[in-house]
Amino acid sequence: MWTALRGLLKVVGWLVLAATLTANLYLYYYPLLQPAACTWRADSTVRLLAFGDPQIRGSDASSSYRTKLDLYGNDHYLGHIYKTLIGALQPTHVAVMGDLVSSQWIPDDNFYERVQRYQKRIFRPELLPSGTDIINITGNHDIGYAGEVTPERVARYEHAFGQLNFIQYYGAEEKDKYRIVVLNSLVLDGPMGHDRFRQEAWHFLETVVARDQFTGPTILLTHVPLAKPEGLCSDGPYFTYYGEEYGRVLREQNHLTEQTSQRVLDLVFGPGNPHGGVILTGHDHEGCESTYYYKEGRWAVSAGNPAASNATYPGVHEITVRSMMGEFGGNGGLLSGWRYDNEWNFTFTLCRFGVQHIWWASKVLTGVSVGVAVPVLSLLYLGLL
Ligand SMILES: *[C@@H]1O[C@H](CO)[C@@H](O)[C@H](O)[C@H]1NC(C)=O
Ligand SMILES: *[C@@H]1O[C@H](CO)[C@@H](O)[C@H](O)[C@H]1NC(C)=O
Ligand SMILES: *[C@@H]1O[C@H](CO)[C@@H](O)[C@H](O)[C@H]1NC(C)=O
């Protein structure tokens, strides 16, 4: 009887160790299993790793132990994806596509507690290749939709995450130069109470972005996707406004308005996108790809990427980056850009880790192996049990 039980214990012990090894190999090497999705284009010089809407939540004194455990696990799950992809891919840029934290309505102490977790547990700057920084993009959960933006919300955002609108130039030689434009799209439409933020964003587009005489491609990074009809992406057109008593300011939007989208495309890319370029957005957690192409003096939009559209001009490819949250699969987005003669091309792939439970399972298995399976197997093989 005891002999049979010992045999069974050995089998179970070894199975637990094998499962632990498999789970940990997956955890640290999952990009190798998806070579097409989790590697850059071979000759790319732009290697931008984009994370969609992490939207980290918070807890307070009244939260249950379960809620706190979930948050702890989620932080480490997101941090694991970030760390693994940074290590495997060595990007030239990292961007988080807005909705960095969840909820524009939280008080300052909760906001800064989340900022701490963002920096220390998830998007740890010390893991980046040297010369690389994390580009943070404003989301509605960070500073609010236009009608909710206040100087206080903006000030704490800037303090924690940097500027709302900025432009950066890269590339050593003239012909290799490209620029990254970060745009606070939440305030472009309004109406809003603190109109100066809307004016600032438009001023930035009109005077900094449109007038710098730049002839290389642009990578536009912004949270709210451009206007598109129902059915192209998961989110359709949608706008709501606060009531009369609040001055009918903008309460929520899925896309920028048609007029704003036309203007942004003209100012950032120029009619017809003569220098090439690409747009990355967030907001729609499902993710999506569309192409804006120039036709009879206006921009029109079609589904999918430029290769699939009929346009004479290449058009501007807009990639709405699928969220990195567990329920959407723990994604990292890889934007590769490369130049050939005077033409630039960009391609995008999604590298998927899987749901949070995979992370939890590997940690629980490791705990069981170290705490139970290894000691029991040792005793069995030493003949002490
Ligand atoms: C983005 O936010 C993180 C976290 O606070 C910070 O470490 C990083 O420097 C910010 N990036 C920029 C460009 O300001
Ligand atoms: C391209 O144009 C042809 C002819 O007008 C049309 O049948 C086809 O559906 C178009 N394809 C796309 C992807 O728009
Ligand atoms: C860029 O992409 C287009 C469309 O997919 C393709 O026809 C062209 O050959 C590509 N150019 C380079 C340099 O790879």
User: What are the tens digits of pLDDT across the range 364-382?
Assistant: 999 999 999 999 999 999 9
Mean pLDDT of 250-273: 96
Residue 327 is predicted with a pLDDT of 97
Q: Which numbered ligand comes closest to the C-alpha of 309? A: 2
Q: Which domain holds residue 16?
A: 1-33+355-385
Residue 66 is predicted with a pLDDT of 94
The model's confidence at residue 260, banded by pLDDT at 50, 70 and 90, is: very high
C-alpha 293/C-alpha 262 separation (Å) is: 11
Rg (CA), the chain: 24
Contacts 24+ apart (CB under 8 A), 19-22: 19/365, 20/362, 20/365, 20/366, 20/368, 20/369, 20/373
pLDDT tens digits for range 210-242: 999 999 999 999 999 999 999 999 999 999 999
Residue 123 is predicted with a pLDDT of 98
Q: Which numbered ligand comes closest to the C-alpha of 314? A: 3
Q: Are residues 22 and 159 in the same domain?
A: no
Residue 1 is predicted with a pLDDT of 79
Q: Are residues 140 and 169 in the same domain?
A: yes
Residue 70: CATH number of its domain: 3.60.21.10
The model's confidence at residue 305, banded by pLDDT at 50, 70 and 90, is: confident
Instruction: Tell which atom from ligand 1 comes closest to the C-alpha of 118.
Output: 4
Query: Which protein residue has the closest C-alpha to ligand 1 atom 3?
Result: 161
The answer on pLDDT for 306 being more than 80 is no
Tokens representing 285?
A: 């957690």
Q: Are residues 378 and 257 in the same domain?
A: no
The model's confidence at residue 312, banded by pLDDT at 50, 70 and 90, is: low
The model's confidence at residue 313, banded by pLDDT at 50, 70 and 90, is: low
Pocket of ligand 1 (CB under 6 A): 115, 118-119, 125, 133-136, 160-162
Q: Are residues 163 and 29 in the same domain?
A: no
Higher pLDDT: 174 or 128? It is 128
pLDDT tens digits for range 141-169: 999 999 999 999 999 999 999 999 999 99
Output the CA 20–ligand 1 centroid distance in Å: 35
Query: Which protein residue has the closest C-alpha to ligand 3 atom 10?
Result: 345
Output the average pLDDT for the chain.
95
Q: CB of 345 closer than 6 A to ligand 3?
A: yes
Q: Are residues 17 and 166 in the same domain?
A: no
The model's confidence at residue 342, banded by pLDDT at 50, 70 and 90, is: confident
The answer on pLDDT for 310 being more than 60 is no
Q: Which of 114, 134, 165, 167 to mutate to test the pocket of ligand 1 (most atoms within 8 A of CB)?
A: 134
Domain count, the chain: 2
Q: Which of 232, 302, 310, 312 to mutate to test the pocket of ligand 2 (most atoms within 8 A of CB)?
A: 310
C-alpha 33/C-alpha 353 separation (Å) is: 10
Output the CA 89–ligand 3 centroid distance in Å: 23
Tokens representing 298?
A: 């206006």
The CA-CA-CA angle for residues 350, 355, 361, to 5°, reads: 135
Q: Are residues 8 and 88 in the same domain?
A: no
What is the identity of the amino acid at 108?
D
Q: Are residues 253 and 304 in the same domain?
A: yes
C-alpha 183/C-alpha 209 separation (Å) is: 10
Q: Which of 55-59, 136-140, 301-305 has the highest mean pLDDT?
A: 136-140
pLDDT tens digits for range 50-73: 999 999 999 888 889 999 999 999
Q: Are residues 199 and 298 in the same domain?
A: yes
What is the identity of the amino acid at 196?
R
Query: Which protein residue has the closest C-alpha to ligand 1 atom 6?
Result: 161
Q: Are residues 5 and 41 in the same domain?
A: no
Q: Are residues 319 and 283 in the same domain?
A: yes
Instruction: Tell which atom from ligand 3 comes closest to the C-alpha of 340.
Output: 13
Q: Are residues 251 and 331 in the same domain?
A: yes
Residue 309 is predicted with a pLDDT of 58
Q: Are residues 9 and 85 in the same domain?
A: no
Residue 341 is predicted with a pLDDT of 84
Mean pLDDT of 247-252: 96
Q: In this structure, are residues 268 and 207 in contact, taking their beta carbons and an 8 Å threshold?
A: no
pTM beyond 0.75: the answer is yes
The answer on pLDDT for 181 being more than 80 is yes
